[in-house]
Amino acid sequence: MEGDDDVEMREWCHALPKIELHAHLNGSIRDSTLLELAKRLGEKGVIVFEDVEHIIMKYGRSLPECFQLFDLFHILATDHETVTRITKEVIEDFAAENVVYLELRTTPKKNEAKGMTKRSYMKAVIDGLRAVETVDVVLFDSSNENGSESTIINGTSAEMKRRKIYMGLLLSIDRRETTTAAVETVDLAVEMKDLGVVGIDLSGNPVIGEWQTYLPALKHAKEVGLPITLHCGEVPNKKEIQAMLDFCPQRMGHVCYLEEEEWKTLKSLKIPVEICLTSNVRTERVPSVEYHHFVDLYNAKHPLALCTDDPGLFSTSLSNEYFLVASAFGLSKGEMLQISQKAVEYIFADSEMKKSLMKVFEDAQRKLVL
């Protein structure tokens, strides 16, 4: 059982305004929703519910098991209506954790049987943003000529005093995709800039695919000015890690298997790192939180952001990730506030959005007991 100090620290981490920069939509689905969807498909005879029930509820998962599970999630969340529902729920869950800025990433998917194109999948995601009821969703419109206006997409002026979650969407390229499919995703991201799309991610099973396959799409994204984040070094792959560092994206996720020289390069390039503690421990990329490279990067004052990766899959929350850092490394509340506030600098939206978020943190600084 946790002592009073831990309980108090957990509450404080919950109250802290937080910035989430690395969360996959389909890795963030509530267990209750997954079970409900599985039951429904079981009744239709599409899957055998009893076979998947224990997989959904399993606690510890290896990296290969995670990717098997994503295939199952994609079968469960396969129609437009479900995509809209899970998006709405995921945003509400992040807002309930006092996440004040959420950069949510997802892989646009085609599913001919359901009449789904990458574009219609993304439209279903945006419908989910509009359906959020508990908070106002504020989207950054990066196509705006003045570059500064954000759009409240589901609030009314009478409701302006409600809590807000600022948001951006990242479109993910899956490592299983071809060059053509990856370019299609980047083109879609450009087209959807005025709908809150702020950048591109490269993710998927790290043992699949070749860097050269995605490079044309990533170069294209760079040319048109779309910020990029890469899943880097989730498995040892020296050649690819070097190629990714040479590419110099705006951010990188994970960076677990870097060697001495690569750490030096990462640090000299000052590429911000999305730290996913629970994900890396559960998938056995690092032996424990205490041995996570977070501590080395933090001590080196390297730019970083604490993130959840897949809060549904790993039964975590951003508040919990902050609590883990506090317990494992003995960081003070002031230091944790600083980690959260610093992450504003690494978001893929412009200076106006950053200003709005800085104001949120100024207010919090006055209210939070440090």
Tell me which residues are annotated as active site: 234
CB of 362 to ligand 6MZ, least distance (A): 33
CB of 316 to ligand 6MZ, least distance (A): 12
Q: Binding marks (x or -) toward ligand 6MZ, 328..357, rule CB under 6 A? A: ------------------------------
Among the listed ranges 13-21, 22-30, 126-134, 159-167, the one in contact with ligand 6MZ (CB under 6 A) is 22-30
Q: Compare residues 34 and 326 and give the one whose CB is closer to ligand 6MZ.
A: 34
Please report, as a single letter, which amino acid is at residue 349.
A
Closest CA to 275 of 255, 260, 258: 255
- Distance separating alpha carbons of residues 246 and 256, to the nearest angstrom: 17
- Distance separating alpha carbons of residues 330 and 364, to the nearest angstrom: 22
Please report, as a single letter, which amino acid is at residue 82.
T
CB of 284 to ligand 6MZ, least distance (A): 11
Q: Is residue 174 involved in binding ligand 6MZ (CB under 6 A)?
A: yes
Q: Compare residues 283 and 319 and give the one whose CB is closer to ligand 6MZ.
A: 283
Q: Binding marks (x or -) toward ligand 6MZ, 260..289, rule CB under 6 A? A: -------------------x---x------
Written as one string, the DSSP assignment of 209-274 is S-HHHHHHHHHHHHHTT--EEEEE-SS--HHHHHHHHHH--SEEEE--S--HHHHHHHHHHT--EE
Q: Is residue 106 involved in binding ligand 6MZ (CB under 6 A)?
A: yes
- Distance separating alpha carbons of residues 198 and 21, to the nearest angstrom: 12
The residue behind tokens 């984040």 is 229
CB of 67 to ligand 6MZ, least distance (A): 7
CB-CB contact of 119 with 195 (8 Å): no
| Sole binder of ligand 6MZ in the list 21, 26, 78, 214 (CB under 6 A) | 26
Q: Binding marks (x or -) toward ligand 6MZ, 107..136, rule CB under 6 A? A: x-----------------------------
Q: Binding marks (x or -) toward ligand 6MZ, 203..222, rule CB under 6 A? A: xx------------------
Q: Is residue 231 involved in binding ligand 6MZ (CB under 6 A)?
A: yes
| Sole binder of ligand 6MZ in the list 18, 22, 24, 80 (CB under 6 A) | 24
Centre a 10 Å sphere on the Cβ of residue 96 and count the other Cβ atoms it contains.
Answer: 15
Which two structure tokens, joined as six digits, stand for 317? 């929350």
Judged by CB under 6 A, the number of residues near ligand 6MZ is 18
Tell me the backbone φ, ψ of residue 140, rounded to 5 degrees.
Answer: -85, 130
| Sole binder of ligand 6MZ in the list 66, 195, 256, 344 (CB under 6 A) | 66
- Distance separating alpha carbons of residues 17 and 365, to the nearest angstrom: 10
Centre a 10 Å sphere on the Cβ of residue 5 and count the other Cβ atoms it contains.
Answer: 9
Q: Is residue 70 involved in binding ligand 6MZ (CB under 6 A)?
A: yes
- Distance separating alpha carbons of residues 358 and 364, to the nearest angstrom: 10
Closest CA to 164 of 367, 363, 369: 363
Q: Which of residues 235-264 bind ligand 6MZ (CB under 6 A)?
A: none
Q: Is residue 233 involved in binding ligand 6MZ (CB under 6 A)?
A: no
**For the chain, what is the radius of gyration of the CA atoms?**
20
| Sole binder of ligand 6MZ in the list 9, 19, 25, 241 (CB under 6 A) | 25
- Distance separating alpha carbons of residues 137 and 356, to the nearest angstrom: 14
- Residues near ligand 6MZ (CB under 6 A) are 24-27, 66, 70, 106-107, 172, 174, 203-204, 231, 234, 279, 283, 309-310
